[in-house]
Amino acid sequence: MSIIDNLFKYIYIDAVAVGQVLVTITAASVSLIAIKKDLRSKTIALQNEARTTKYIIYVLATVSLINIFVSSYQSHIDKSDLNRNIDSLKVENNKLRRDLGNKLVQQIDRTITNQNVSTDKLIAAANNLKETVNGSLKVPLFYFVTIGDTILTGTIYNPDSKPVYNLSFKIINYDNVLDCNKVNLLGYPYFDLNCFTNNSVQLPPIISLNSLGRQYINLPKFNSKIKTGRFFIYVTLRNKPYVEEAIYSISKNGDMAQALRIIELKNDKLSSSLIIRDSFYQLKNVNWNKEFPLPLIFRLRKL
């Protein structure tokens, strides 16, 4: 009987190997299904990354299957060799037969363990690939960088270990908008559209922001004589809206301290909020409702 015939014979009767094959194929299939929507994405970068991930999954699955087949074949070869040795040594005492039996069991256990470890590694790799392809769900943070007589600069920062995809930002000088002309209609303030536009910056869509990546922006015009400033940052991440409320204060020594609150919107109203506390944001004890008294969504019209 040829080696190939022996190989198929052992694979078909080895329930453990069959189980490992099914687990491997299932894990690879789940990973491929998870990235299918990204292959249909209109974003070229996301499509390319999804295709690369698909090829990696195929390679990992193939290597794992080969390893399972080889391990299964080798385990049965070892088993056959050991059985022949047992048959030839039946005339010896019971202790020798017990030793050989224990050795056989240990060898099979090691083979099964190796197969399990190989499959677990493939599943873990597939899960990691899925997270990387899908990207981070954490909202990037805004913070002020430099302030001068005529310019105020900020940055958008991704603190996560994974990239962020499909972002849009609109930044508004909150202080200036408060001074815009407005009228009250049906109990709501409507601000002058032209004034609002002149005090806002709409950034081009950000297709991808890498892990720990930054994008710097020149902010809307501001009054450099005033030592405090408030800005609204409208963020859309995967079609989900957020508002970031940013405030800074300049001390007599010229040092800047700032604070940031992230608000998740639902039906244009606050759903949840998070005050960011780390080394970038040193301004404490901010009364957020007092500092940002207007509705989260501005109503605009030409006045």
**pLDDT one-digit tens code per residue, 82-96:** 777 777 766 676 676
3-state secondary structure of 151: coil
Cα–Cα distance, 60 to 185 (Å, whole number): 62
> Which residues, including other chains, have CB under 8 Å from residue 293's CB and lie 6 or more apart?
none
What are the residue ranges spanned by the domains of the chain? 3-134, 141-301
Q: Does residue 12 register a pLDDT over 50?
A: no
In this structure, what token pair is assigned to residue 269? 């109203």
What pLDDT does 49 receive?
73
What pLDDT does 33 receive?
76
What pLDDT does 140 receive?
93
**pLDDT one-digit tens code per residue, 105-139:** 677 667 667 766 665 665 554 445 444 566 888 89
**pLDDT one-digit tens code per residue, 53-87:** 777 877 777 877 787 777 777 777 777 777 777 77
**pLDDT one-digit tens code per residue, 232-289:** 999 999 889 999 999 999 888 888 899 999 999 988 888 888 999 888 899 988 999 9
Q: What's the whole-number average pLDDT of the chain?
A: 79
Query: CB count, 10 Å around CB of 20?
Result: 24
Cα–Cα distance, 59 to 62 (Å, whole number): 5
Tell me yes or no: is domain 3-134 CATH 1.20.5.
yes
Beta strand pairing call for 299-301 and 188-192: parallel
User: What b/e readout covers 80-105, taking b as 16+ CB neighbours within 10 angstroms?
Assistant: eebeeebeeeeeeeeeeeeebeeebe
